[in-house]
Structure 1
Amino acid sequence: MRRTAVAVAIGAMAVSVAACGKAGDDDSGSGSGSDSKSIGLLLPDNVTARYEKFDKPYFEDKVAELCSDCKVEYANAAADSAKQAQQVSSMITKGVKVIVVSAQDSAAIKSSIQKAVDKGVKVIAYDRLAQGPVSAYVSFDNVKVGELQGQALIDALGDKATPKSKVVMINGDDADPNAAQFKEGAHKALDGKVDIAYEQSGLWKDTVAAQKMSAAITQLGAKNIAGVYAANDGMAGGIATVLKGAKISGIPLTGQDAELAGIQRIVAGTQSSTVYKAFKPEADAAAQLAVNLLEGKSIDDLATETLTSGSGDKVPSQLLTPVSVTVDNINDTVIKDKLYTVADICTADYAAACKKAGLE
């Protein structure tokens, strides 16, 4: 039970006695007082490699740089929207002033965001545009991401890109609004240029994507598939395994997120492209927005665009620029930005392929 501070005045001397906290809180270092400088960071899953390895530490480091006495409270939803809702409630109880959340389910989290805002907490949607009264949104131009993916597939097909060429399309989870934008962009690039002969959601899971790919092979025939659009690298990994098992090689396979395994597949030739959305600029931007809101500063010069969420809310947005990555520009993208070193990519299994690709 939270008890409010009680002030007792005796003569000219005032003595304040305050008690705060909540039984069962997992972090006694967080208070719910008005002077709290805590920022909550809620990420959607621990399957996608980027969140724990990059987004979290980059965000924490930038907050520390901008606000030395600020504290970041962190939680991961482990792909469970109900768990994420509980985490929002926990953050409110802990007294955070700003919550940065990458929604596991953009619609399901709406009521939790409303609850936070009703308690005076500012909410920033991170990477995925959550529904509800969020104060800001930071991500990449997701339609552009899809366009880059689709165009990379067309480029890899070369003269095999014809309206009769059958392409399999494995999209992300419909609960993620980004998935619809990636899909929209990809269709812009692909429609009319190839035949999207099989299209399903892979739910952002490699296992589901693998199942869908197997079904596509059964339906279309292994020899009739010209290329595969996979909405991210995780699903591309499952698809690549199925293609190998079906003895299908030499066809384009897209991805997204520039995961290490995806870059290694590109080097090895089992994946043709990915999309690099530099994690540090995105995390840094979210941290700057969070600190500004915490300190009551304007974000107008940061969130210069406006997007409409699924709930119809107009959201000030900061959109960054994604980059397509193929074997030809690995050096100039993920290595140049120190996302990975050559040693990270070129392990023993990839040494020969790396040498051929000029990564030494």
Structure 2
Amino acid sequence: MKKKLFGAMALATVAGLVLAGCGTGREDTSGDGDGTDGGAGFDADARIGVALPDKTSENWVLAGDLFVNGLEEAGFTPDVQYAGSANAVQDQQSQIEAMIQNGAQVIVIGAADTGQLATQLQAAKDAGILVISYDRLIQGTENLDYYIAFDNYRVGELQGQALLDGMADRFPDADTYNIELFSGSPDDSNAPVFFEGAMSVLQPKIDDGTLNVVSGQSELAATATQGWLAENAQERMDNLITANYRGGTELHGVLSPNDTLARAILASTSDAGLDTPVVTGQDSEVESVKSIMEGVQYSTISKDTRILVADTIDLISTLQAGETPEGAEGMDNGSADIPSILLDPVIVTQENAAEVYADDPKLGPLTEQ
């Protein structure tokens, strides 16, 4: 028996996808031959571990609160832990090991480092625990049951197109545009996916001369921002300005992968006395939505954490009932094709912010005219 998990927004993303053939590396004990155990075998009031990477982003903090409340409402016992920022990888490894020892029957992981959890996931498999990779796809292990996230390649595509659209709007007399590129932390498996999606839109325009990366820094390694830290992005932007924009060269746009970095980049350009460039973002952080409404930051991406957490809890409930969730596609994490549920992101600019955030109690008031 299959159970439909999602509301209209999520269903629009995953319609037509099927689970068959998406192996997890776990033994099939359900007898249905689909390569998974169907989720049977854990209790209706099971302890659910949720390991989150940090509190540097509003969305991680919100996710933790939503998991506590939502899991309790669903009848489960939540164990939500945040890794510390200084030793995040080691903290998270220890927290997951403690969750295993404390009897968690499902562990949801927003990884601090997607390449550093193979030992812990092997221990979870050995203990018969279901593991869900949340928001970031854990790499290099077959011991994952599901991955659930927004479609991160699509996020990058939307960011790249927003950069082009914003520069055309803000600099209508320009035939070519000077840009700089930023990407996320190299220990986050989402970072290259965002960047690749954006470059699928921007690279053809770089190749035909419409876009000029003045610094020449257009490869992932050169554009990375360790730890997603604002101070690292601002320092790099300061250096780019000093080296490339002190002689009157105009900066038209900056690809930023999230809102925290976008605000740091804008602070740097403002401190340098440059005209405000078009800067993209992601995560719908309050300060960035304010900035968008004021016409400073150009765009963000809405990936409604409320929807992602709710769908994750629905997934857990479906697995607890011994049912196979619909709408997953296989995504390669370097060791296996992980059944993955991908939701649709939404680009947000000043033009559509009121519509997108109409039902958001935190952001809706910011967009009222």
Greater shift, 164-173 or 87-96, is seen at: 164-173
Which residue matches 1:280? 306
Q: CA RMSD in A?
A: 2.1
- Residues 164 and 340 of structure 1, relative CA distance in 2, 3 Å threshold: closer
Instruction: Indicate conservation of the 8 Å contact 1:41/1:75, yes or no.
Output: yes
Q: CA deviation at 1:255?
A: 0.6
Counterpart-to-counterpart distance in 2, 1:297 and 1:248 = 58
Percent sequence identity is 29
The Cα shift of 1:216 comes to: 1.2
Partner of 1:167: 179
Give the Cα–Cα distance (whole angstroms) in 2 for the partners of residues 92 and 35 of structure 1: 18
Q: Residues of 2 paired with 1:57 and 1:71: CA distance?
A: 14
Aligned counterparts, 1:174-189, within 5 A: 174-189=186-201
Counterpart mapping for 1:256-267 below 5 A: 256-267=282-293
Mapping of 1:1-360 within 5 angstroms? 37-52=46-61, 54-66=62-74, 68=75, 70-79=76-85, 80-131=88-139, 132=141, 133-158=143-168, 164-193=176-205, 194-197=211-214, 198-199=217-218, 200-203=223-226, 204-222=228-246, 223-293=249-319, 295-301=320-326, 303-309=327-333, 311-342=334-365, 345=366, 359-360=368-369
What does the per-residue CA deviation read over 1:57-78, in whole Å, with 9 as the maximum and x for residues that have no partner? 2223332333x2x100010013
- For 1:320, give the aligned amino acid: L
Mapped to 1, the partners of 2:346 and 2:135 lie a distance apart of 16
Give the aligned length. 308
Listed one character per residue, the Cα deviations across residues 158-203 of structure 1 (whole Å, up to 9, x for unaligned) are 1759785221111001111111110001101111322234341122
Give the C-alpha shift of residue 339 in structure 1: 4.2
Q: Distance in 2 between matches of 1:78 and 1:275?
A: 26
Mapped to 2, the partners of 1:297 and 1:341 lie a distance apart of 38
Bigger radius of gyration: 1
TM-superposed CA distance for 1:219, in Å, is 2.2
Where do 5+ consecutive residues of structure 2 fail to align? 1-41, 206-210
Instruction: Give the deviation of 1:238 after TM superposition.
Output: 1.1
- Residue 123 of structure 1 and its aligned partner are, at CA, apart by 0.5
1: CA distance, partners of 2:355 / 2:192: 29
Q: The residue matched to 2:66 in structure 1 has which SS?
A: helix
3-state SS, counterpart of residue 335 of structure 1:
coil
Q: Match of 1:40, as an amino acid?
A: G
State TM-score, norm by structure 1: 0.81
Bigger CA drift: 128-137 or 95-104? 128-137
User: 1:36 touches 1:97 (CA, 8 Å); kept in 2?
Assistant: no
Length-normalised TM-score, structure 2: 0.79
Q: Could you tell me how far apart the structure 2 residues matched to 1:321 and 1:87 are?
A: 31
